Amino acid sequence: DGGEFTTPPMRFDGDTLQLNIDTSGIGLARVEIQDADGTPIPGFTLDDCDRIHATNATSSAVTWGGNSDVSALADAPIRLRVELQFGTRLYAFRFGNGE
């Protein structure tokens, strides 16, 4: 039980990516940030993303190598590639300020 999706290009304002997510007991998720053409941005790849394991969290900050700051990418067109595993449910995502 898993899958992934990639968003259309978008622009955002803020410094963190926050998820409304439920990973249950064994689920995991990861997020990659890509440029508008779909090329992974160094430092924000799936491999860089810290595994997200947050049971029923409405505002779980995504981190890459322990860092949640995405402000350097604000106002540029980006795509999100989201990987969900083992029954994880993603209800929403948003960019905000602060963790």
54 has a pLDDT exceeding 80: no
- Predicted structure pTM score: 0.91
pLDDT above 90 (res 98): no
pLDDT confidence of residue 1: 64
* Residue 70's pLDDT band (cuts 50, 70, 90): very high
- Predicted local confidence at residue 34, as pLDDT: 98
Residue range 60-71: average pLDDT? 94
Q: 97: Cβ–Cβ under 8 A, 6 or more apart, which residues? A: 14, 15, 16
Question: Distance (Å, rounded) from C-alpha 78 to C-alpha 35?
Answer: 5
- Residues 27-53: tens digit of each pLDDT: 889 999 999 999 999 999 999 999 988
